[in-house]
């Protein structure tokens, strides 16, 4: 990856970390899940409002490092309007990008704006920060319960 592209990616991640999109509660969410990264102290609550199998609205609240906040912000932005299967289908490729880097199952550039997180795999201590929102999403969508708790441990 060129240094210009890496710098742009870092700028986007910093912006989403400082000014997360969709950072709010959804009072009438049809699914919620809590996520915690015990190692780092990141905590988030994910709110999903489903309508006819589509993610009509998705948001989160919580505290954590810039990477966890940016990952949740980028995830919620990317998933709004997708159906549950499309959202769940992104878990594997995004998880692989975050944990395996460019050798993952899908090249980062095929993940659209989520590719800005592709450099996280180079920092093993940050992988759980970046995957927290995604594990929480999977829990929220795969469970019939309205409130679940998931951990990256």
CATH number for 58: 3.90.1010.10
What does the pLDDT look like over 90-110, one tens digit per residue?
Answer: 999 999 999 988 777 778 888
Domain range holding 102?
3-149
Q: Which has more pLDDT, 1 or 31?
A: 31
Q: Between the CA of residue 24 and those of 21, 59, 60, what are the distances in Å?
A: 9, 6, 6
pLDDT at 142: 93
pLDDT at 9: 66
In whole angstroms, give the CA distance from residue 127 to residue 63. 17
| Domains: count for the chain | 1
pLDDT at 76: 98
Q: The pTM is what?
A: 0.90
In whole angstroms, give the CA distance from residue 144 to residue 114. 27
Q: Residue 4 — very low, low, confident or very high, per pLDDT cuts 50/70/90?
A: low
In whole angstroms, give the CA distance from residue 90 to residue 99. 14
């Amino acid at each position: 990856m060129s240094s210009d592209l890496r710098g742009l990616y870092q700028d986007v991640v910093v912006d989403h970390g400082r000014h997360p999109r969709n950072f709010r509660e959804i009072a009438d969410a049809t699914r919620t899940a809590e996520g915690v990264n015990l190692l780092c102290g990141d905590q988030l609550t994910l709110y999903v409002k489903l309508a006819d199998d589509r993610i009509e609205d998705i948001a989160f609240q919580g505290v954590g490092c810039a990477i966890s906040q940016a990952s949740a912000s980028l995830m919620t932005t990317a998933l709004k309007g997708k159906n549950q299967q499309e959202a769940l289908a992104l878990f594997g490729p995004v998880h692989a990008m975050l944990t395996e880097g460019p050798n993952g199952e899908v090249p980062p550039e095929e993940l659209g704006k989520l590719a800005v997180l592709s450099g996280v795999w180079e920092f093993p201590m940050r992988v759980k920060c970046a995957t927290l929102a995604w594990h929480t999403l999977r829990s929220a969508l795969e469970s019939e319960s309205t409130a679940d708790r998931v951990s990256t441990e």
